[in-house]
């Protein structure tokens, strides 16, 4: 499945454009485009925060998370989001743990909209890459497409623009077992601390 994805990039993009896509300029442009309004659509809520994620019995991967709710589409209930997580900010910090990155887009739905405690259901989709660190391992699987349902709880502080998210999810296996990077394991749980902007 993953090899098809790579093939598509090579078939339809020039090498120059492919390099541009990989550049940090592109990544950050995309990031801010999504965060600050997606081509001018006004936000009901915009939340940005830090996320701590643990894969069950394996690595901590930490990073940033953002969520965005549109004024005209289920405001305060339906959110699109973006997460960038890395073991470089977790288990691999100062150790020999493998360095790996996770890039996720998400769609969340919040139940109990007007309560302090909310329940959220979420679907994540994205891309996983582990750095194998040596050309000896060039032939080994180091990437995977990600798809994961997630269930969580949110607590919104009453008089502060802060919220806490607790979630647990399951990575759906998109490859046969011998073809998937071993550090991509099914069960994960996370804690996100958000700072919330209203009506931006």
Partner 1 sequence: MKNPIIKIFALFCLGLLIIGCDKSPPIEDHMLDGDIVFDPSINNPEEFLASAKYPNPTSEDLDRHVMIAVHGFTASTFEWSEFNEWSADSTYRLSLVLLGGHGTSYDDFKASTWSDWAESIKLEYETLESMGYKKISLVGSSTGATLLVELVRSGYFDARTSPQNIFLIDPIVVASSKLQSIAGILGPMLVYVGSDNSVEKDEYYYHFKPQETVSELNDLMKTVRKGLEDGLTLPADTYMKVFHSKHDPTANSLSSVMIHAGLKNSAGSDIDVQIMDSDIHVFTRLAIRDSVSALNIENQEDAFRQMANRLN
Q: Which residues bind partner 1 (CB under 8 A)?
A: 56-58, 91, 95-98, 130, 132-134, 136-137, 139-141, 171, 173, 176-183, 185-187
Q: Return phi, psi of residue 160, to 5°.
A: -130, 145
Give DSSP secondary structure letters for 8-44: HHHHHS-HHHHHHHHSHHHHHHHHHHHHTTTTTPPEE
Q: Which is nearer to partner 1, 78 or 187 (CB)?
A: 187
**Among 179, 183, 42, 192, which residue's Cα sits nearest to residue 99?**
183
Q: Which is nearer to partner 1, 11 or 134 (CB)?
A: 134
Q: Which is nearer to partner 1, 77 or 173 (CB)?
A: 173
- Cα separation, 167 vs 121, in Å, equals 9
Q: Which is nearer to partner 1, 14 or 57 (CB)?
A: 57
Q: Which is nearer to partner 1, 14 or 96 (CB)?
A: 96
What's the gap between Cα 49 and its chain centre?
12
DSSP state of 89: G
Q: Return phi, psi of residue 71, to 5°.
A: -65, -40
**Among 81, 82, 67, 27, which residue's Cα sits nearest to residue 156?**
67
Q: Which is nearer to partner 1, 34 or 97 (CB)?
A: 97
- Cα separation, 74 vs 162, in Å, equals 21
| Least gap, CB of 141 to partner 1 (angstroms) | 8
| Least gap, CB of 196 to partner 1 (angstroms) | 33
Tokens 């997606």 belong to residue: 38
């Amino acid at each position: 499945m993953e090899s098809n994805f790579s093939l598509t990039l090579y078939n339809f993009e020039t090498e120059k454009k492919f390099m541009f896509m990989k550049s940090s300029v592109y990544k950050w442009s995309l990031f801010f485009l999504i965060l600050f309004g997606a081509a001018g659509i006004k936000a009901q809520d915009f939340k940005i925060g830090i996320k701590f994620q643990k894969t069950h019995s394996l690595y901590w991967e930490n990073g940033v998370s953002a969520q965005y709710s549109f004024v005209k589409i289920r405001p305060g209930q339906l959110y699109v989001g973006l997460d960038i997580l890395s073991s470089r900010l977790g288990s691999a910090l100062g150790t020999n743990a493998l360095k790996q990155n996770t890039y996720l887009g998400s769609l969340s739905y919040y139940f109990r909209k007007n309560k302090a405690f909310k329940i959220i259901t979420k679907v994540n989709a994205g891309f996983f890459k582990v750095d194998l660190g040596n050309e000896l391992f060039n032939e080994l699987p180091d990437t995977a497409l990600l798809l994961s349902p997630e269930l969580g709880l949110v607590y919104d502080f009453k008089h502060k623009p802060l919220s806490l998210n607790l979630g647990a999810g399951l990575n759906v296996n998109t490859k046969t077992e011998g073809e998937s990077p071993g550090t991509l394991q099914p069960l994960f749980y996370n804690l996100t601390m958000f700072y919330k902007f209203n009506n931006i």
